[in-house]
Chains A and B, each alone.
Chain A
Amino acid sequence: MQKLYNYLKGSLLLMLIVVANSAFAQTTITGTVTDDSGPLPGVTISVNGTGTQTLSNGKYSVAASKGSILKFSFIGYFTKEVKVGDQSVIDVKLSPNNARLNEVVVTALGINKEKRSLGYASTTVKAEELTKTAATNFATALYGKVPGMRIASAPGGATSGVSIQLRGVNSILNTSTPLIIMDGVPIHDVDRNNPSFLNGNRIGSNGLVDLNAEDIESVSILKGASAAALYGSEANNGVILITTKNGKGSKGVRVDFNANYTQDKVAYLPDYQNVRGAGMPVQLGIYGEDANGFNSNTYPINGVPMRATVQGSLNFGPLFDGKPILSWDGVVRPYSPQKNNYDGLFQTAHNSNINVAFSHATENSSTRFSLSDINTEGVSLGSHNQKVTANLNSNFKLSKNYSVDVLINFIHQDINNRPYSVNNLTQGFTGMMPRFDNGQWYLNKYKTSLGYKYVVGGNQSLTPNENIIYPNYRTDILDFVWNVKENKTEEISNRLIGSVTNNWQIVNNLNLRARLSADLTGGNTINKNSTAVPTIFGFDPNTSGSFGLLSNSYNIIYGEVLLTYDKKITSDIGMSLMGGYNAERDFAYNTSISTNGGLTADNNFDIAASYLTPTGSGSQTFLSKDALFGTINANYKKYLYVQGTLRQDRTSTMNPAHNTFVYPSVNSGFVFSDAFHLPSFISYGKLRASWGIVGSYPISYQANIAYNQGTLGVQLPGTGAVLTTTTRDPFGNDAIRPEKKHEYEFGLETKFFQNRVNLDVTYYNARIVDQLLNLALPQSAGASGVLTNIGELSNKGFELAISGTPILTSKFSWETGLNFASNQNKVVKLSNGASELIHQDFDGNAAVLKSVVGQPMGDFYAHPVATDSKGQKIVGDDGTYVLDGNKMQKYGNAMPKAVGGYYNTFNYKSFTLELYADFRFGGSVMPSGLHWMTGRGLTKESLNHMDKAHGGLSYYLDGNGKGIQTSAAQGPAGQTVYNDGMLMPGVTANGASNTNVISQAYYYWVVDNWGGPQYSNSDYASYIQTNSYIKMREISFGYALPTNIAKKLMAKNIKLSIFGRNLFYIYRTIKGMDAEQLTAGAMWNQQTTNLGTNPSTRTYGMMLRASF
């Protein structure tokens, strides 16, 4: 609360001042609004948040105070503002805004183009869309806003990575993340600490989350191959072009201020049962429990023998009775469910962002400088980060035909304790918390009073009386808490992205642009692992603590020259030629040094405290690439446009003998609404067609075949050091070719009813040949994988964007829009002649994720229940279904069928309500962890059939231990009757109908267990589920203060808003988890099964935005 107060006291003060100012005088203003052809009806006139509309004769009347500003707006016309003086009549003439149709967008290489001239689909998202709900990075603000773009965020909070995918999966091996270009400059996206996205147990992020959304003016998305063709081999996944805000257009000095505060709370947890504790039904005799299902031992507490639960991970035990029982931490409590028992293991994340921007423009220069202070936390205990960014964007016109742009973006980050993976708690049987257990107990017991790691049983301890000796502690949770709280990391990094661009208009038609940029990241990481076992018991590398210092730098230097020649050939035909060269060098260095064999003194965190000689390592990674490129553009009467591009790439990641590749493209736009005379309701219409090739290379050193080398040091006094080489795994491939995507697309863009309704449709068809893959091999072949060109994928689909303004009055308006994209992926062929490619094997062949030729990538296969010759299901001796170990069937496919978003914006006077929903339909996932929780008796589902009330059958056990269904009070020989029975319809091995009634506890344990048919009878087919959802992603509610009030506060405008993100599901197919919970990495197949990164969160926040 203190934090909240601190974050907000500034804004609260402002709000108080606002409320205190409210008195002002008003007069009535009248007038007529016209355009070239006469009076204009329906024009909105707004003043101080109220307003009216012109009548059919163009006349209006409105109350306004002197000095206030009347705003005249009408779709298709330039908005006009008139300051109220002493006059009472204000006539206004509006001029049509053709610019709206001549919208300028940023295209490849940062070249601005009229949108109407493009022959391919492009989407631009403006600043206000990115910052509305204070998303902690620009990518999470894009959910559902771009047709064909799929976003998935790793759970955990602001530091977790975000994965972006355009038009489906384009590569089996590489990430789907598009190339990110900021102000024309490539930005490295892979986190310097985290080449694999997941770094050990702490969840890493990617470079794009570094960028501050507050400084972004717009984000343009180039999806197709033709749009991105000028980026050649880097553009396989499309390109995201970020333009930062600049000072242009601000008159004099302008100050923008934004402050927001958000809170992330753990949300979308599984649906836990609150009925019973640890154990199993007594008739199964699994834990050697007493007749009531409790531990057969009692424990004397203050001389009174206390009961306890069994020590075990299954939770089909005795029902909660509220009577005293001994907990594992030695405290006697009522035996009752601990409903929110995970709460103690996570924190509420408090995030704030304060941003101030100063802009200034004169005739010959413009400058924008902004500063941000961003504080974020994860829900993982102890995770907190500070980010300070400074952004300078200047333009100097040095002479009439020469100008220089200077951009500097500085990002300082101090990241403490990235979220710690909860894998062991969600997917490890021994880390699943029973319902009679509590995170708070673990927080109290995970370390001893002397600060060492908890000790169980009779193990050596300096505080033997504190040893954990009572059942049913969960060592995985104790370890988790120890690791989260006592193994600390701090990453401090500085990132400087800067560029200088020279523009020289050599002669009238000839322009030369030269640009040099750098993206430099340098940082240090400090790892401190506390001493777990006192070193007086001896030194051990794993328990005596450790300290590590890592430093790393990642640098990109990029240069580009571009020569453009424009020529109007005839009055109808315009042409331009462009040629250029760019080159990029990346170099990364990592060094680390850490203690070895433990710390010499407990918790003495320094390299000097290393028990053995400290160990060090380092790596250097270089990448060079360059490209020559040219384009030719022509237009006829500014309604028919044609563009052709060609790029030749060279890269160091390919064998020098063949590292040069060519990428062509061609596209055309035809504005038929200008070419033909169309009915007046069609305001605008354009057809697009394009074709192009883009590609993708292996990363540095992936292809090269070489030996790893090393030394074992001196192993015998008097001899030299033992030098070693070993072959690489995965194995390289010197003959590798780049992946190439050949894509064509067609599109139609239309606007109706004076732009009140907009429609944009695109069809695309891409064929990606020479797919790169680290083909998985059996280890017995000599390596676990080999880099190879495996085959061909295709993606085809369509994208649809409909938007409109159904209601538009002076006081109220409603804008709405739908984005929808459907992609159909197919594996066309595999080059090794195989019919399928296996990506992943789960849990000892329980299920596999594979791609079959002719099918979409990512089919989930699992073993079906075995059937006899008549097709009847076979039930095993134990009463559960037997799986067919020799057969696997398809139960789903990982590719979503459709993704998109739906938004509504309502404006009423000065209030704005915005609602954003996004959706995904189709696409299977396998959240094994959820099923294992059921198998451990933790979810509500596991209560089915637990007694008569839950549909359980009554049965007794015969001499062979088989369950015989009965309605009697006891069995024929006096056997106890149990009521938790289930009967599997089917036949036994000898063909007889199955009559063996089994305990539901046994059923769930078996069916939702770990492992393939050789290990268990787990029914993985049931784990594979479609993951469709419609989520209310964002709701924001804003209020703009009347300008005269704002003015009294010396502001041009002030806007307050409250908002929420990730709020609730309108629809979802998988209950008990967030639909994005499985996002564990940027690769498509890292988003299908892992329940274990961090809990998902729900965010609430508020924001104050003001301009001065």
Chain B
Amino acid sequence: MKKIFLIAALIIVAGITSCKKSQLADAYVNPATAHSTTLEKQYAGFLSSDLDYVMYRYWNYFVVLQNTALHYTQAVGWQNAPGQYIPGAASITDRWNNFYTFLAQYKEFLNVYSKQSATDQKNKRIYLISATIHFYDQTQKVVDLHGDIPWSQAGLLSTNGGDYSKSYAKYDDAASIYTKMLDDLKGFADELNSLSVPASVSSVMKTQDFINNGDVMKWKKYCNSLRIKLLTRVSGVASFQSRTSTEIAQITSNASTYPVVSSNDDNILVKVYDLSTPISSDFYSGIIGWGDNDVASKKMIDIMNTNGDPRLRAMFQPGAKAGNTYTGLDQSLSGSDQQPLIAGGTLSRYNFSTLSKNRFLPGILITSAEVSFLLAEYYLNAGNDAAAKTAYESGISESIDFYYWLRTLSNDGSAGPLAPTSASEKTAYITSNGINWLNAASTADKLKLIAIQKWTNYSVLQPLESWAEYRRTKLPAFSFVNDPSTSVLPQPPTRWIYPTNEQTYNTANYQAVKGKDTFTTKIFWDVK
């Protein structure tokens, strides 16, 4: 009897718990992960790694942008407070880390691409080109924030098989990054015209490329529009000036070879199809936060009110106790005087239905309004006033249409019905005193007009672009109250410092840029 017990016990011990070698090997691998990938999967993995910043989400707005770019551009009004211009370390670190997570996925995509057969590399080149275009688009934003960044050698840990000692990345000079991107994009712009994509490739890409669904024409437009954006940003830098005028001239004069985003139908967006998928926006709690972080600035509202901007009712809504009056918050008041105004419910807010509560808000990469305003500046500087005027006016029209279109996507009705705009309302606005191109006597005045439009169009949707353009052009002219509480930043910064993980963990390479690492260093294109 007892032996039966014991034998049973031994069998149980041996049978249930003893380990076979294969068992040990099996349990080494997390069933949730994959030990290999495909080019297509890594491509989509790369593209989706920046969605927290491309889409309108809580963290980006609440932590990163709320107290930084949204204030530096006066896209919103806020209560002046001590220490207000110093960006939080979380803003800087989170934005940086997300970009480098995204960059690492791009480098891994390159790594996977490099291991494809020569035939596959040829057939699937569209993946490489399109991934690089999007990567450059996001790179520009980060260079514009920090200046020199680790780039060409960055993100290679996986490519190096985990050998971290080889993976500490040197900093690339900001201007040389621009040069490299401009060179490559120019090459892509030509190559895309001759590229043949096998049907078998494009049918899969249609699924995996959730930006343009494998549409080569749209990638061409993205590419050339991005070139205009990059070239315009460096247009004030002596060493880039001739390149800027030559290349933009080439693009604008060969619309069929170098198509750009020229109508709202061309806009490069990450659209929201299904709120239940990871591609969606939750702007509301991000921009409003604890409340009131979406209050309109007096500067913007006054200009819109004065000139009868049709976007006013689409972009904004009156305060709860304001009846039908649109009012913005005066940024020159002291915090104590602003507080009752904010609490009083009379200030306008960004429109809940069009923007804050619009969960179908698409991630904006490049829009036709934006391209038009950049071109208006180019034409103006090139002495082609008529073309400048056309671009300026079409930009305004596209921008108005864009905001009204955003409203049609929304499933929120809390702002009440939106009265549609009309051609006559648009015309009245474009010819109003403060907006009319013809009323601007000088180039400087015209630049001011363009800047107002660009800034209004960027609003809270593209605050990093808006801040970069403000720093480049110093337009529209903003005044900020001096912050007496800090000797570090009594006025807004001109760049973001590096996150401390660079200083701390990339020490040797950081030494090369340490001297420039202050809030008041100017990015190389900031020359005005």
Contacts and interface: CB of A to CB of B under 8 A. Distances in A.
B32 A845 contact: no
A456 B30 contact: no
Contacts of A512: 6
B157 A783 contact: yes
A514 B9 contact: yes
B488 A723 contact: no
Contact of B207 (A706, A710, A721): A721
A418 B103 CA distance: 39
Interface string A609-653: 000110100011111111000000000000000000000001111
A876 B414 contact: no
A1015 B89 contact: yes
Contacts of B31: 620
B101 A725 contact: no
Among B167, B213, B339, B518, which residue has the most Cβ atoms of chain A within 10 A? Answer: B339
A167 B90 CA distance: 37
A456 B291 contact: yes
A311 B346 contact: no
Interface in A794-843: 832, 838, 841, 843
Interface in A692-715: 700-701, 703-710, 712-715
A442 B77 CA distance: 27
B476 to A, nearest CB: 26
Interface string B54-68: 000010000000000
The list of the 8 closest CB pairs from A to B, nearest first, reads A458-B345, A288-B334, A782-B157, A652-B27, A559-B13, A559-B17, A778-B506, A713-B277
Contacts of B82: 286, 312, 314
A727 B501 contact: no
B195 interface: no
B486 interface: yes
A877 B488 CA distance: 11
Contacts of B381: none
Contact of B17 (A585, A782, A786): A585
Interface stretch (A59-67, A134-142, A537-545): A537-545
B19 interface: yes
Contact of A561 (B13, B49, B292, B321): B13
Nearest to B154: A780
Interface in A741-777: 775-777
Contacts of B40: 723
B320 interface: yes
B335 A288 contact: yes
B104 to A, nearest CB: 4
Nearest to A297: B340
B357 A712 contact: no
Nearest to A705: B162
Contacts of B14: 559
Given A458-B346, A500-B9, A540-B285, A706 B49 contact: no
A1092 to B, nearest CB: 16
Nearest to B112: A725
B36 A778 contact: no
A504 B519 contact: no
Interface in B332-374: 333-337, 339-340, 342-347, 352, 357, 359
Contacts of B33: 701, 704, 706-709, 728
Interface string A439-482: 00000000000000001111110001001011100010001000
Contacts of B345: 457-459, 464, 467
B285 A714 contact: no
B501 A612 contact: no
Interface of B: 1-2, 5-6, 9-10, 12-14, 16-19, 21, 23-38, 40-42, 44-46, 48-49, 58, 79, 81-82, 86, 89, 96-97, 100-101, 103-105, 107-108, 149-150, 154-159, 162, 164-165, 167-169, 206-208, 210, 213, 273-279, 282, 284-285, 288, 290-292, 319-321, 333-337, 339-340, 342-347, 352, 357, 359, 412, 414, 484-488, 497, 499-506, 517-519
Interface in A478-536: 479, 500, 502, 504, 512, 514-516
A714 B5 contact: no
A713 B274 contact: yes
A297 B336 CA distance: 7
Nearest to A478: B290
Contacts of B150: 778, 780
A558 interface: yes
B82 to A, nearest CB: 5
A786 B157 contact: yes
Nearest to A504: B6
Contacts of B79: 311
A701 B100 CA distance: 24
Contact of B206 (A471, A582, A719): A719
A652 B25 contact: yes
Contacts, number: 388
Nearest to A778: B506
A557 interface: yes
A464 B19 CA distance: 66
A394 to B, nearest CB: 15
Given A456-B291, A654-B28, A724-B41, A626 B19 contact: yes
Contact of B335 (A287, A402, A584, A845): A287
Interface of A: 284-289, 295-297, 299, 310-312, 314, 398-399, 402, 404, 455-460, 464, 467, 469-471, 475, 479, 500, 502, 504, 512, 514-516, 537-538, 540-543, 557-561, 581-585, 596-597, 612-613, 615, 619-626, 650-656, 659, 700-701, 703-710, 712-717, 719-729, 731-734, 775-784, 786, 788, 832, 838, 841, 843-845, 848, 876-878, 1005, 1011-1012, 1014-1017
A455 B487 contact: no
B17 A1011 contact: no
A926 to B, nearest CB: 16
A722 B275 contact: no
A655 B24 CA distance: 9
A788 to B, nearest CB: 7
Contacts of A538: 284, 352, 357, 412, 414
Contacts of A701: 28-30, 33
Of listed A311, A469, A504, A708, residue having the most chain B CB within 10 A: A311
Contact of A469 (B5, B157, B343): B343
A781 B285 contact: no
A297 B339 contact: yes
B13 A781 contact: no
Given A650-B19, A779-B97, A786 B343 contact: no
Nearest to B277: A713
Nearest to B321: A458
A540 B282 contact: yes
B156 to A, nearest CB: 6
Given A559-B16, A597-B275, A626-B18, A712 B48 contact: yes
B81 A624 contact: no
Contacts of A713: 274, 276-279
A458 B484 contact: no
A708 B26 CA distance: 17
B505 A777 contact: yes
Contact of B414 (A537, A612, A776, A1016): A537
Nearest to A284: B484
A10 B183 CA distance: 86
Contacts of A299: 340
Contacts of B499: 779
Given A542-B58, A652-B23, A722-B44, A727 B158 contact: yes
A299 B343 CA distance: 12
Contact of A845 (B42, B277, B500): B500
A876 B168 CA distance: 36
B487 A778 contact: no
